[in-house]
Amino acid sequence: MALRLFDTATRQVREFRPAQAGTASMYVCGATVQGVPHIGHVRGALNYDVLRRWLVHSGLDVLMVRNVTDIDDKILAKAADAGRPWWEWAATHERAFEDAYAALGCLPPSVTPRATGHITQMIELIQRLVDSGHAYAAEGDVYFSVASFDSYGALSGQRLDDVQQGETQAEGKRDHRDFTLWKGSKPGEPSWPTPWGPGRPGWHLECSAMATTYLGPEFDIHGGGVDLVFPHHENERAQSLAAGDGFARYWLHNAWVTMSGEKMSKSLGNVVAIPEMLRRYRAVELRAYLIQPHYRSTIEYSDAALSESAQGYRRIEQFLRRVRATEGEVRNGRVPSEFAAALDDDLGTPQAFAVLHNTVRDGNAALDVSDGTKALEAAEAVRAMVNVLGIDPLSEQWAEHTGAEAEALAKLVDAMLTMRQEARAARDFATADAVRDRLAEAGIAVEDTPNGPLWTVRD
């Protein structure tokens, strides 16, 4: 393959070579389902969805796992505060996340494992670590011995002397740097039986067990947010390698979405929740906004930036509609070589979008001089690109109108816009304004651009 990806473990861009020819295996850290998803939560899912689509486009069969953390300190605390059962709280917010992923066009994973459904595999992994001397039991808890693993810190760059797990010191813990594999049960908390006593799994243990259950002891790509590099992914790597598994061959990390320079999080109170965003913007516009920046670049959220991105998407949409109205069916063509080169270079979506917008510009120019052949060629290339990005306006998912209905609407709106243009040329601005107002009353938004008026159906 020509694809090259930045591997956090080696800190360099590496050629992607799947372990098994013709197949790519991916594990993506999913949500800890403690609350309603915001755009910071879904950004990573969208980034890895684009990667998955590009791998499929490149001819690979992709096996993708995205987990659900449905047992966690935060879930237990929030459920208790709300006076609701922890399992009901988790299930409610798991559905909210799945609804958000689906609304934004994420392809469903091959499997979506829940932590609570894999306790047996977690206990087996702990036993392997205890037997090999990398873990020990103490007062009902089980800990991973960081000092027993020579390459601890290699993924995150942490110096062993500086390691702080963020865990409280507990009786029987031999080294403050050791992290918890299994938490002994506390009154009122859910628990499962183990050889070391009843309790529940530690966060890091969950993902190692679920990844290897579905992808085997070694797989291609492990993805997640940059905030997971330490301690979560560092600890995943340590316990899995210490148990004898090859684990992830490539580690990918997407950057944050920030507001006022701070990571978007519930604790900061700067959350932009998905349900609210989808009341203000079309889902496909929000998707385009979140996938256009490079996945390793921070997005500083603002309404102005999202509005500008939405306008750019509408230009793509309107171009395809114009070509369909004048030239008929627009098939899915071939992606331009420049677009492929951009995505092959560590999933370079900013450059890929630049190729996309340039092709739309050239296609509009061809339409303006009645070169239908060139316009259709450009439109077919555009459809190929937006299909890879998951934002095809003519696809069944995003098309607001289909078939004869779409054709009839386009002809009516275009006729009214032609009437408006003729009125403006004759300086009959009263008639031009009346046409625009009539379209607005019907839910048609019109934007005047150098390439002519663009129209979209408002939600």
DSSP 36: -
266 assigned ligand-binding residue: yes
Are 65 and 211 contacting, i.e. CB atoms less than 8 angstroms apart?
A: yes
Residue among 310, 220, 298 nearest 255 (CA) = 298
Specify the pLDDT at position 441. 87
Specify the pLDDT at position 212. 98
Cβ neighbours, 10 Å, residue 418:
12
pLDDT in tens, 84-135: 999 999 999 999 999 999 999 999 999 999 999 999 999 999 999 999 999 9
Measured CA to CA, the distance from residue 152 to residue 234 in angstroms comes to 7
Specify the pLDDT at position 35. 94
Domains within the chain, CATH numbers bracketed: 4-254 (3.40.50.620), 266-389 (1.10.730.10), 404-457 (no CATH)
Specify the pLDDT at position 356. 98
Residues 6 or more apart whose CB falls under 8 angstroms from that of 439 comprise 413, 416, 417, 446, 455
Specify the pLDDT at position 269. 57
Give the gyration radius of the chain's Cα atoms: 26
| Low-confidence spans in the chain with pLDDT less than 50 | 402
Specify the pLDDT at position 253. 98
| Overall pTM surpassing 0.75 (yes/no) | yes
Helices (H), 243-302: 274-280, 283-291
Residue among 253, 313, 354 nearest 105 (CA) = 313
Measured CA to CA, the distance from residue 257 to residue 8 in angstroms comes to 19
Residue among 130, 32, 26, 147 nearest 79 (CA) = 32
207 assigned ligand-binding residue: yes
pLDDT in tens, 128-162: 999 999 999 999 999 999 999 999 999 999 999 89
Helices (H), 426-457: 429-441
232 assigned ligand-binding residue: yes
Residue among 26, 17, 18, 14 nearest 53 (CA) = 26
Are 93 and 41 contacting, i.e. CB atoms less than 8 angstroms apart?
A: no
Residue among 313, 259, 262, 255 nearest 287 (CA) = 313
Cβ neighbours, 10 Å, residue 93:
22
Measured CA to CA, the distance from residue 334 to residue 348 in angstroms comes to 18
